[in-house]
Chain A
């Protein structure tokens, strides 16, 4: 019976297949929510269990929000999807800049980043001008920012200030815009199914992240010596956790390979790439947070009131461009 369902789905129209994808996604979330509610009704929970449950509830509602965003983006693509991702980019960049020291003379550079670079990058994505889309930030913006900055005439910490702003744009705008580009990318023979690529990317990035967290948080024997240097960033870091997280991502990739245009080996490699870059991306954000002196992006009662959006999207912001360019380079439409 499963084989019949699979075969009829494989022959179905793309719209039908995507519909099944979303019904499955929301169905799984509904099951998880009901299960969480049932656990919450038990009165024999320890305080630690309660705290973990509260954290899980927050993660689950973030997953709901993410799924709804994903669905709304899909049905409104390309323009609605682009607008939606552009707004998320805007909020993420706002959070990034808030926690980054800037000077008064950076004002015009920042205005350029928010009001010119961000819309332009998403317009290029929506119009599917993927060649210019790929080089706009690394080439043109890279040149434009220091020009605007040098015209402001402030040489204090010039390199550091420009590097920070360029970096923020790379992560929050360039990185994230690739998730929206993936949604509307039509690979040859795979037209109208961009949602599967985004779903594959998110699922494998998430699998890598979850695998890493689970492995790194299990009780460890006291490591001999100092452990890997990255312990200074995340004191639970280990190469085993990074490796197993990546392996879990690859496994999920193989299991989900049938929803993509990839063969199983390609799916495993793409998933490993997404998983590993997501794990390392979160680690990089962690290093940035330590430098900025905060524990969680946003939601910092002292300074900002945001929802810690950067924390949620950091793995994706790193894995999306790698994933996109690998897929696009490999399956580049002929001509």
Chain B
């Protein structure tokens, strides 16, 4: 086992101990198909939870997106995201940098990898799900064969609220829904709203 694999195991173990990191596959079984998982975003731990709730065999091919300026700013952060999570780096402000912000994602999908994205763009601190950005729509247009799986991450905001450093043990779940497909002639706003509804529909009662 390499050092990165060991680190991955340790992170998964810690996530299980603190949160349970249970995945509930309600709409589709966990399969080694090419997929884009899209979920609500409330905490820095969201990615860890999705990753830990996936079967081990799917983890290596399922990649998160990391902001280049932050996650390459120290050797540890860079190593963690590159070697352990196999992250895709993007410029925080792609338009300003003069390039297409989605280009690295497109490249990863073209290479056959699966992605995890948070279409709200930023973390929601109120618990309400914000408007979805258009990136998911554009990826769906370019890769119609990739399954789009909505997911709801429950309870994670209780584990580590903003400004705290110590996580508190609370059981968390990731509920995966049925694949969503782009409809004929659907425009980007209609699709973004439908994708947001699909994520919200997975929200458990009382959470």
In the assembled complex, the CB of A235 is this many whole angstroms from the nearest CB of chain B, namely: 23
Picked from B161, B166, B171, the residue with its CB within 8 Å of the CB of A303 is B171
Residues of A293-309 at the interface with B, using a CB-CB cut-off of 8 Å, are 293, 298, 301-306
- With A102-B158, A107-B161 as given contacts, are A302 and B206 in contact (CB-CB < 8 Å)? yes
Query: Once bound together, how far apart are the Cα atoms of A104 and B171, in whole Å?
Result: 16
Q: Residue A110 at the B interface, CB < 8 A?
A: yes
Q: Residue A94 at the B interface, CB < 8 A?
A: yes
Picked from B24, B161, B168, B169, the residue with its CB within 8 Å of the CB of A301 is B24
A-B contact count (CB 8 A): 51
Asked if A111 and B166 sit within 8 Å, CB to CB, the answer is: yes
Query: Once bound together, how far apart are the Cα atoms of A46 and B158, in whole Å?
Result: 45
Asked if B20 and A305 sit within 8 Å, CB to CB, the answer is: yes
* A and B contact pairs by CB, cutoff 8 A, 25 listed: A93-B169, A94-B170, A94-B171, A95-B171, A98-B155, A98-B170, A102-B158, A104-B161, A107-B164, A108-B164, A111-B168, A298-B171, A302-B173, A302-B205, A303-B154, A303-B173, A303-B207, A304-B20, A304-B173, A305-B20, A305-B22, A305-B24, A305-B171, A306-B20, A306-B171
Q: Residue A115 at the B interface, CB < 8 A?
A: yes
Main secondary structure of the interface of B (DSSP, over half): loop
Query: Once bound together, how far apart are the Cα atoms of A104 and B170, in whole Å?
Result: 13
Residue among B20, B171, B206 having the largest count of chain A Cβ atoms under 10 Å: B171
Query: Once bound together, how far apart are the Cα atoms of A97 and B155, in whole Å?
Result: 11
Write the chain A residue with the least CB distance to B170: A98
With A94-B169, A298-B171, A303-B155 known, 8 other A-B pairs at CB within 8 A are A94-B170, A97-B170, A98-B155, A98-B170, A102-B158, A302-B173, A302-B206, A303-B154
Q: Which residues of B contact A (CB under 8 A)?
A: 20, 22, 24, 154-155, 158, 161, 164, 166, 168-171, 173, 204-207
A interface residues, how many (CB within 8 angstroms): 22
Point out the residues of chain A lying under 8 angstroms from B171, CB to CB. 94-95, 98, 298, 303-306
Write the chain A residue with the least CB distance to B26: A301
- With A97-B169, A98-B170 as given contacts, are A303 and B164 in contact (CB-CB < 8 Å)? no
Q: Residue A22 at the B interface, CB < 8 A?
A: no
Asked if B161 and A305 sit within 8 Å, CB to CB, the answer is: no
Picked from A97, A115, A293, A304, the residue with its CB within 8 Å of the CB of B22 is A304
Point out the residues of chain A lying under 8 angstroms from B164, CB to CB. 107-108
Asked if B170 and A115 sit within 8 Å, CB to CB, the answer is: no
Point out the residues of chain B lying under 8 angstroms from A93, CB to CB. 169
Q: Residue A199 at the B interface, CB < 8 A?
A: no
Query: Once bound together, how far apart are the Cα atoms of A304 and B169, in whole Å?
Result: 12
Point out the residues of chain B lying under 8 angstroms from A97, CB to CB. 168-170
Q: Residue A90 at the B interface, CB < 8 A?
A: yes
Asked if A302 and B168 sit within 8 Å, CB to CB, the answer is: no
Asked if A110 and B206 sit within 8 Å, CB to CB, the answer is: no
Picked from B161, B168, B206, the residue with its CB within 8 Å of the CB of A114 is B168
Point out the residues of chain A lying under 8 angstroms from B173, CB to CB. 302-305
Query: Once bound together, how far apart are the Cα atoms of A93 and B17, in whole Å?
Result: 12
Write the chain A residue with the least CB distance to B21: A305
Write the chain B residue with the least CB distance to A307: B20
Residues of A138-162 at the interface with B, using a CB-CB cut-off of 8 Å, are none
Query: Once bound together, how far apart are the Cα atoms of A90 and B171, in whole Å?
Result: 12
Point out the residues of chain B lying under 8 angstroms from A293, CB to CB. 206
Contact with B along A264-298 (1 / 0, CB 8 A): 00000000000000000000000000000100001
Point out the residues of chain B lying under 8 angstroms from A90, CB to CB. 169
Residue among B20, B166, B169, B206 having the largest count of chain A Cβ atoms under 10 Å: B169
Point out the residues of chain A lying under 8 angstroms from B155, CB to CB. 98, 303
